Copies of this chain bind each other. A is one copy, B any other.
Amino acid sequence: MHPFDTAIALTTVDAHCSRGATTSAYANMVGPFGGTTAAVLLNAALRHAERRGEPVALTVNYASALADGAFEIDARAVRTNRSTQHWILQLRQGDDVAATATAVFATRRETWSAPEATAPADPPAPDTLARQDPTRRPPWVQRYDMRFIDGGMPTRFDGAEHPHSHSCLWVRDDPPRPIDFASLAALCDTFFPRVYLRRRKIVPIGTVSLTTYFHADTAMLAAHGAQPVLASAHGLNFRNGYCDQRGELWSARRELLASTQQVMYYRE
- The residues of A with any CB-CB pair to B shorter than 8 Å are 56-57, 59, 61, 63-64, 78-79, 81, 84, 86, 88, 90, 96-98, 100-102, 104, 106, 108-117, 161, 164-165, 198-199, 208-209, 211, 213, 215, 217, 234-242, 244, 246, 248, 256, 259, 261, 263, 265-268
Contact = CB atoms under 8 A, between A and B. Distances in A.
Contacts of A114: 161, 198, 238-239
B117 A236 contact: yes
> Which 10 pairs of residues, A with B, have the shortest CB-CB distance?
A63-B79, A57-B209, A117-B236, A59-B59, A211-B211, A78-B97, A113-B239, A108-B240, A63-B86, A237-B256
A193 B84 CA distance: 19
A58 to B, nearest CB: 9
Contact of A104 (B161, B208, B246): B208
Among the interface residues A56, A112, A165, A238, which one has the most CB atoms of the partner chain B within 10 A? A112
A190 to B, nearest CB: 19
Given A102-B100, A240-B217, A86 B112 contact: no
A198 B116 contact: yes
Nearest to A211: B211
